[in-house]
Structure 1
Amino acid sequence: MRARACRTPPGGAGRQAARALSSGAGRPGRSSPGTRERTHDVKNALDPAALEAALENVHRAGVPGLFAEVRDGDEVWRGAAGVADVTTGRPVTADMRHRVGSVTKTFTAAAVLQQVEEGRIGLDTPVGRYLPALVPGERGDAITVRMLLNHTSGLAEYLPYAYPSLKPYPALADTGPESLDEHRFTRFDPLELIATGVTAPAFGAPGGTPGVYSNTNYLLLAQLLERVTGTTAERCITENVVERAGLRDTGFPEGPYVDGPHSRLYEMWFGMIDPPRDYSVFDMSWVGPSASLISTVSDLNRFYRLLLAGEVVGPSSLAEMRRTVPVVSQELRTVDYGLGLHPMEGPGQGAFWGHGGTVWGGGTLAMTRADGGRQLAVAVNAQRWNRLGSSGMPEPHPVDGALAALYRVAMYG
């Protein structure tokens, strides 16, 4: 499966893996059992009992509900534990659709790399040649497309400016969740968000490392896709990545609601929202093609399996995606990051590649072994469960250890 130009006429475990769903808690509820498919035996068979127990332990540790799919070759296990709605007790199921947050970035990066393959975008071309009005002057000449993809542009994150109660970040104790309610139905203009990030004080010089993770980069990439294809980034990504990969339950939202079976999403904001509040209904224009995609755990595993097999982008583009640089994450930890893709490793184990993502109230992690053989995609319906200690930093929570244990069982058995 190889993608070409958009068809629409002119008109957005290891320790690193355990942190990818960082911070979330909730009220426990009922559990729904795991399911298992097998087309034929494989050498490293999955352990459904261990997987079910690990999933249940995350739920018992404080996540209202979660669901996952684990694959090893042709063997597939799906499971769910807990509730999708703490009021009604409606259980979560493994086929639910879910807001996957920054997992979207891999899809957006793949669409950009496809245009690089077609010669419409130069990976090391200054972004100012394409979008001079958005990144003008010397910065437009210095920041390349690659730097947007791997977060080494130095451009600031616009989020604390769009949500005033988050402005004190990274001083978490001085932040508050009020803006989340104020902007639940706000329709943000992506050009205004980009302008905020571009004009804010830079995090560093273009190309410098470590880079700093910034959604401003990926909103610019969405504008770049629109500039070179003549259609919206959402439509380009849908046609060239989602549909060509055969993903049946993946797409961008057209409004604040999630279509199809889904869970409520419970945000705690480090103990400042008590009881947790549901943000499953939310206008996602605040992130657009940077982090607004809706998908299922099965679709995510299919996508990353095809991506790492060189069937979404070509081998040379995939090699570029896997060239990493140090980047400071939004949790203020330095991680290795490629072009919309990053590795996750366990001690003495092989590399897994994928991405994590969070939205208000929800988290997702997708990882695939480098050879495509072993995969995990997991979704949780809570976020930022860690309360802040006297130092103002998040304190450890039992959910963290339970998630890490789930990742170990899923990836290594």
Structure 2
Amino acid sequence: MRRPARSALLATGLVAALAAGPLAAPAFATPAPAATSATPAPPASATSTAGPDTEALSAAIAGLPDHDATAALLRVGGDGTWRGTAGVRDVRTGAPALENARFRAGSVTKVVTAAIVLQLAAEGRIDLDGTVQHYMPGLLTEDFAPITVRQLLNYTSGLRPGASLGDTVEEGYAHRFETLTPRQVVAASVAEGPEYTPGTRQTYGNIHYTVLGMLIEKVTGDSYAHQAAVRIFRPLGMRHSSFPLGADPRIHGPHNRGYDWMDGRLVDVTDWNMTDRFAAGDLISTTADLERLLVELFRGRVVPEPQLREMFTVPDVPGASYGAGLERFELDGKVIWGKTGSRPGYATVIAATRDLSRTLVYSVDATDAKGDGQAVAQRFGFPAFNR
């Protein structure tokens, strides 16, 4: 059974469910009320929106921890700001969630990867119309038509998914301390052959950005993690963002524990070797750091024009919604650009209107973070853009 029925959970209580699981957790103290803060919106202008709906945002984080999440950290900005922190740092102790907690940002990593590639393109070191076969000869077999860097960036490369240690949290949990290298991931994809002709379809997946991470290392002669540090984190002052050192499964520094329901039990999934995610999903960060990345990126201070336009350009193929790293959403008549990310125990979003009149960053310690994400987005994300 994937998750216990809500009625059963309410009947037994969250703490009882924990006690029955491998955590053998004692009842934890009732957490303090959610901490929130807000500043009023400035006077309206032709490009501004109303301030954030603080009532809806406060309601979203009320009552944590609950069945669906143990903690939530939200930052809303633009025309008016709002901050919210709720839930617990650790279900064993009931200690309140940390506002400055580090967490696994999952596929938000792809925004960092895309930015590095586009910087290298601006420097003339990468041609977006250049091919994988040119930059990394021998990586692909002769079965593959030429795949351009741009097609990797916008998920139209035709590559199949690579090797994995488990397609679900349950499958991966037993292998969480094992290592799967980027080259192994890509080799498994190549062995399956192309899925479709490059540039004809858009299929979101990690494999495109795993290859891009390898491309960054090939072109720079440096590690992907160091390039991210010197090109993105340090210039932007993202002091709490990093990648794990090798196969280190820990989140170093202050963090809230992550959990997932497995067979009716709430299991701690915080410690996990993420080497297989590499440049597609290995980032550890904070909401403040990701907010800085989001704002400075949209202002053109990370990637210069015209390369920045690649991030906001959706290819003309059926059903496409992604540019280079960013996805286009429409909500209540607003066009929003952003990126979701999920790793076991952690669901993350960065999103904004193009003019930055509204920005959102959140990290939710979701107990089904690798699900479809709709429930988490509707609860914690949608209220930021509902007016």
Q: What is the TM-score of this pair, normalised by structure 1? A: 0.79
Aligned CA-pair RMSD? 2.7
Report the counterpart of residue 265 of structure 1 in structure 2: 258
Q: 2: CA distance between counterparts of 1:65 and 1:176?
A: 19
1:299 paired with 2:289, answer yes
Q: How does 1:107-126 map to 2 (within 5 A)?
A: 107-126=112-131
Could you tell me whether the CA contact under 8 Å between 1:79 and 1:93 is conserved in 2? no
Q: How does 1:262-411 map to 2 (within 5 A)?
A: 262-268=255-261, 272-325=262-315, 336-349=321-334, 351-384=335-368, 400-401=374-375, 403-411=377-385
Q: How many residues align?
A: 355
Which of residues 74, 79, 88 in structure 1 aligns to 2:84? 79
Q: How does 1:113-192 map to 2 (within 5 A)?
A: 113-137=118-142, 139=144, 141-158=145-162, 161-163=163-165, 166=167, 177-181=170-174, 183-192=175-184
Q: 2: CA distance between counterparts of 1:301 and 1:230?
A: 30
Could you tell me whether the CA contact under 8 Å between 2:68 and 2:367 is conserved in 1? no
Secondary structure of the corresponding residue to residue 285 of structure 1: coil
1:53 paired with 2:38, answer no
Query: What CA deviation, in whole Å up to 9, does each residue of 1:33-83 have, x standing for no partner?
Result: 23326498454333434321222267546312111111124x432211212
Q: 2: CA distance between counterparts of 1:178 and 1:252?
A: 24
Q: Which runs of 5+ in 2 are unaligned?
A: 1-5, 16-29, 45-49
Q: What is the TM-score of this pair, normalised by structure 2? A: 0.84
Q: How does 1:94-113 map to 2 (within 5 A)?
A: 94-113=99-118
Q: 1: CA distance between counterparts of 2:231 and 2:223?
A: 12
How much has 1:214 moved relative to structure 2?
Answer: 2.1
Secondary structure of the corresponding residue to residue 286 of structure 1: coil
How much has 1:289 moved relative to structure 2?
Answer: 1.6
Higher RCO (C-alpha 8 Å, min separation 6):
1
Secondary structure of the corresponding residue to residue 35 of structure 1: strand
Query: What CA deviation, in whole Å up to 9, does each residue of 1:348-381 have, x standing for no partner?
Result: 22x1111000112211011011101211111111
Secondary structure of the corresponding residue to residue 107 of structure 2: helix
Q: In the superposition, relative to structure 1, how do residues 385 and 213 fare at CA in structure 2: closer, same or farther (>3 Å)?
A: closer
Q: In the superposition, relative to structure 1, how do residues 47 and 385 fare at CA in structure 2: closer, same or farther (>3 Å)?
A: closer
Could you tell me whether the CA contact under 8 Å between 2:169 and 2:344 is conserved in 1? no
Q: 1: CA distance between counterparts of 2:305 and 2:169?
A: 45
1:239 paired with 2:230, answer yes
Q: In the superposition, relative to structure 1, how do residues 273 and 380 fare at CA in structure 2: closer, same or farther (>3 Å)?
A: farther
Report the AA paired with residue 54 of structure 1. A
1:197 paired with 2:189, answer yes
How much has 1:162 moved relative to structure 2?
Answer: 2.6
Could you tell me whether the CA contact under 8 Å between 2:258 and 2:345 is conserved in 1? yes
Report the counterpart of residue 18 of structure 2 in structure 1: none
Q: 2: CA distance between counterparts of 1:383 and 1:335?
A: 29
Secondary structure of the corresponding residue to residue 225 of structure 1: helix
